[in-house]
Amino acid sequence: MTIKSIKLLLTWFAIFSFSNISFSKNIALSSDENFYISQSNIDHYIFYYNSGIDRARNGDYKGALKDYTRALVLMPGSIDAYINRGTVKRHLGDYTGALDDYTKVIAIDKNDYIAFYNRATLKDELGDYEGALKDYNRVITLRPKYVHPYFFRALIHKRNKNYKEAIFDLNMVLSLDSRYPGAYKNRGIVKELDGDLQGACADWRRAFGIGRHDAKRWVATQCE
């Protein structure tokens, strides 16, 4: 029996992204050096873990939750199962439970950027902007070329009227992905708020050029 090497990475747009993290990296994690995992437990863990993935893909989040919980009884230190269960809980509206699962992963591995990222986006969604900002900072430290945390950190800076910091992050987004959805549009908005209408218009024109048709209205009303 083989395990599907997959993590449910929930982005702000509720898109699942699947990783290539290997089973062997996460299977035996436990704080107890004497913790023994029998082959039977491993086989049953793989069954429930894979079943959880299939159920989540098909939108059966309640079933997936049960499967991941069973998997964690068999393998209490499974990082992947905690992350996936947290994401399923988020889909079911159990935000406290989701935060708890992501935090458990971080307690096991303080360098797991997916747990920090998922926790950051959930804190962001719930209005805990300070907590989200700290987690985005950690993700960027761990994965400096990972584009999403720069974008969402920029939105928090914009919300806090820290326009220079927001522009810096949006510049980073565009250096990593020149067609990132919303980057030119939001950088234009920040520039306008910071008093740079000429720069804002240039960004809105770029946004329109890569398919952001809502930017055309701003160019027509403010830039011509």
Structure tokens at 123: 């804190």
pLDDT in tens, 173-195: 999 999 998 999 999 999 999 99
From 39-43, 111-115, 157-161, 162-166, the region with the lowest mean pLDDT: 39-43
SS3 content of the chain, % helix, strand, coil (to 5): 65, 0, 30
User: pLDDT, tens digit, for every residue of 48-97?
Assistant: 999 999 999 899 999 999 999 999 999 998 999 999 999 999 999 999 99
Percentage of the residues of the chain whose pLDDT score is greater than 90: 69
Phi, psi angles (nearest 5°) of residue 162: -95, 75
Whether the CA torsion 213, 214, 220, 224 is positive or negative: it is negative
Q: How confident is the model at residue 224, as a pLDDT?
A: 74
pLDDT: which is higher, 34 or 114: 114
Band (217; pLDDT cuts 50, 70, 90): confident
Cα distances from 70 to residues 1, 66, 109, in angstroms, run 17, 6, 21
Tell me what pLDDT residue 36 has. 55
Domains defined for the chain, CATH in brackets: 1-109 (1.25.40.10)
Mean pLDDT over 95-114 rounds to 96
- At 4, the pLDDT band (50, 70, 90 cuts) reads very low
